[in-house]
Chains A and B, each alone.
Chain A
Amino acid sequence: MTNEMTIIEKIIFEKIGKITSPGDIVVLPIDTAMAHDGTAPLMIKSFEEMNAKKVWDSSKAVFVIDHVAPSSNEGTSRLHKMMRDFAKKHGIKLYDIGEGICHQILPEKGHVFPGAIVVGADSHTCTHGAFTAFATGIGSTEMAAVFASGKLWFKVPESIRINVNGKLKGNVMSKDLILYIIGEIKADGATYKAVEFTGNTIKEMSMESRMVMTNMVVEMGGKTGLIETDEKTKVFLEGRVNIPFKEIKADKNAKYSDEMEIEAERIEPMVSCPHSVDNVKPVSEVEGIEVDQVFIGSCTNGRLEDLRIVAKVLRNKKVKTRTIVMPASREVLLNAIKEGIIEELIRAGCVVGVPGCGPCVGSHHGIPSPGDVVVSTTNRNFKGRMGIADAYIYLASPLTAAYAALNGKITIPEVIL
């Protein structure tokens, strides 16, 4: 029925004019295809082995060098060169070192809009659902196929609807909310499904906070996270996207495979404990654990509002533990400089690095030592994730992370928001 569509069904309908149901296989034209320095080299190899001649539409293909940026070793430098050469040869856009993390750059630079079909050779591509795009992660060879053909098959997913209402406590951020949800749904509870976030708590959130929600959908197995289009979406995209787009919302009678109701007031500051993202506990249960390193950054929590909060906590104080801050993009960094945030963080004793993924994936810029306890604003705490198996990673909000930095141990953050 035309008036019973979920957001994902609506996006597909707008794209191909066909009403679909979960389980149907569809072939969709791609609006944006992105690969980064962890996945593009293998994509290029597959593209060349296929003997594909040209990129289907060079204005829709994007490369980002963000994972090991700037390069830390010769092997990586060779892979970066491979990307630069390919981008030049095919005339595609490459965002080079220092520009920022792919999932921050795509919306900032206008590659994402409501109704867009976005594929990224990165699992956190689901982030872009905050802009009502159907965005999902694929592998390198499949990305080579997209670069060659501009199309890809998808199974229309079932949708889970998560309805959050009420006001979050003053020491609770969207990160705490999504960690809570993952703790309930578990690491595989949304596998193959689209996850729609709705309710007035979500409506009240900034685009930045919404991106935290959709970013972590893959940590419960989800195919994509989705939030309907509203004024905030349009304000963010204004001046960034110059093609017209439609607002996309779910229909009232849309069918969901599961629904979850959450009262925002009841959410406490949360952490994901080692070594799985769904091992979620209230901060109060792990209070007092000593911390060796704090990392603030990543495509989950390296944005301006995050840095603002950290600076608010650390202003005129000194951190008691190693604290690394990586802004998510050049734009974020520049704005943080303008607001005086960067100076405050440096004076407080933080190390502020180049916009990019930083130590999130364990390739450089702050690999923990054996036995270290790390509080990180990132999205994964698997064993070995930060480059060493014997490190204990707690995922937290920027506010909780700032308090861990300030006190050298895990602390319930004070009300600050």
Chain B
Amino acid sequence: MIKGRIWKFGDNVSTDDIIPGKYKFKTIDLNELSKHVMEGIDPTFSSKVKPGDIIVAGKNFGCGSSREQAPLVIKHAGISAVIAKSFARIFFRNAINIGLPVIEEKELYDNVETGDIIEISLSDGKIYAKGRVFNFKPIPSFLMRILEDGGLVEHYKKKGKFIWEDNFL
């Protein structure tokens, strides 16, 4: 179970909003980069966010660049999951690969506000909020395994190969 306070963002939050491109060419130090998390939308976000918080957003979250720094700074800032009406595909893959849970669910957004506390059960696809249950399609099991290992790096370290190398499909 993931439980946390939410921060709401709108549609089409781009990777430039999450971490402006100009920073990523200078360093890969996450402590440095995370100071700028969500700077494009709310320059004070990094000082307000607390470990365990959850982002709830509209459609096409993470659109734009392929920069993995985007999910990384979100995770590093302590965000425990991102729920959006939809995700840009590279962001979605990147998030799983670095161990940040991402959930596609369309109805929650209009029913919650910043500051609400919600609970998520990843494995059975349920979000508990405002006394209601919102169902989502659980992440495919092979991606869930990567996520549970804590991302691709840890996954590979544990297994010595990637789950898709076994032609598991």
Interface residues, chain A, with chain B CB atoms under 8 Å away: 25-27, 37-39, 41-42, 45-46, 49-52, 67-68, 73, 75-76, 79, 120-123, 125, 137-142, 144-145, 148-149, 151-153, 187-188, 191-192, 221, 223, 276, 361-363, 380, 382-385, 387, 389
For B88, the chain A residues whose CB sits under 8 A away are: 188, 191, 221
Q: Min CB distance, A123 to chain B, in Å? A: 4
Contact with A along B12-28 (1 / 0, CB 8 A): 10101100111011111
Q: Are A187 and B60 in contact (CB under 8 A)?
A: yes
Q: Among the listed B17, B24, B93, B156, which residue makes an inter-chain contact with A139, where contact means beta carbons less than 8 Å apart?
A: B93
Q: Taking A39-B68, A363-B21 as contacts, is the C-beta distance between A221 and B63 under 8 angstroms? A: yes
Interface residues, chain B, with chain A CB atoms under 8 Å away: 12, 14, 16-17, 20-22, 24-28, 39-40, 59-60, 63-69, 72, 86, 88-90, 93-94, 97-98, 140, 142, 151-153, 156-157, 161-162, 164-165, 167, 169
Task: Report the separation of the CA atoms of residues A241 and B123 in the bound assembly, to the nearest whole angstrom.
Answer: 47
Task: Report the separation of the CA atoms of residues A252 and B27 in the bound assembly, to the nearest whole angstrom.
Answer: 50
Q: Are B22 and A362 in contact (CB under 8 A)?
A: yes
Q: Min CB distance, A288 to chain B, in Å? A: 28
Q: Are A191 and B28 in contact (CB under 8 A)?
A: no
Q: Taking A49-B153, A384-B20, A389-B40 as contacts, is the C-beta distance between A142 and B93 under 8 angstroms? A: yes
Q: Are B12 and A142 in contact (CB under 8 A)?
A: no
Minimal Cβ-Cβ distance residue in A for B16:
A382
Inter-chain pairs besides A68-B25, A384-B40, 8 sampled, C-beta below 8 Å: A27-B165, A51-B156, A137-B90, A149-B161, A153-B142, A192-B89, A221-B60, A361-B65
Task: Report the separation of the CA atoms of residues A70 and B152 in the bound assembly, to the nearest whole angstrom.
Answer: 32
For B153, the chain A residues whose CB sits under 8 A away are: 46, 49-50, 141, 144
Task: Report the separation of the CA atoms of residues A258 and B49 in the bound assembly, to the nearest whole angstrom.
Answer: 41
Q: Are B165 and A188 in contact (CB under 8 A)?
A: no
Task: Report the separation of the CA atoms of residues A249 and B66 in the bound assembly, to the nearest whole angstrom.
Answer: 28
Q: Among the listed A142, A151, A276, A384, which residue makes an inter-chain contact with B94, where contact means beta carbons less than 8 Å apart?
A: A142
Closest 4 CB pairs of A and B: A75-B26, A139-B94, A139-B68, A188-B60
Task: Report the separation of the CA atoms of residues A139 and B17 in the bound assembly, to the nearest whole angstrom.
Answer: 17
Task: Report the separation of the CA atoms of residues A27 and B169 in the bound assembly, to the nearest whole angstrom.
Answer: 8
For A37, the chain B residues whose CB sits under 8 A away are: 25
Q: Among the listed A25, A123, A362, which residue makes an inter-chain contact with B66, where contact means beta carbons less than 8 Å apart?
A: A123
Q: Taking A142-B93, A192-B89, A382-B16 as contacts, is the C-beta distance between A38 and B67 under 8 angstroms? A: yes
Minimal Cβ-Cβ distance residue in B for A72:
B25
Task: Report the separation of the CA atoms of residues A384 and B63 in the bound assembly, to the nearest whole angstrom.
Answer: 14
Q: Among the listed B12, B90, B161, which residue makes an inter-chain contact with A188, where contact means beta carbons less than 8 Å apart?
A: B12
For A223, the chain B residues whose CB sits under 8 A away are: 89
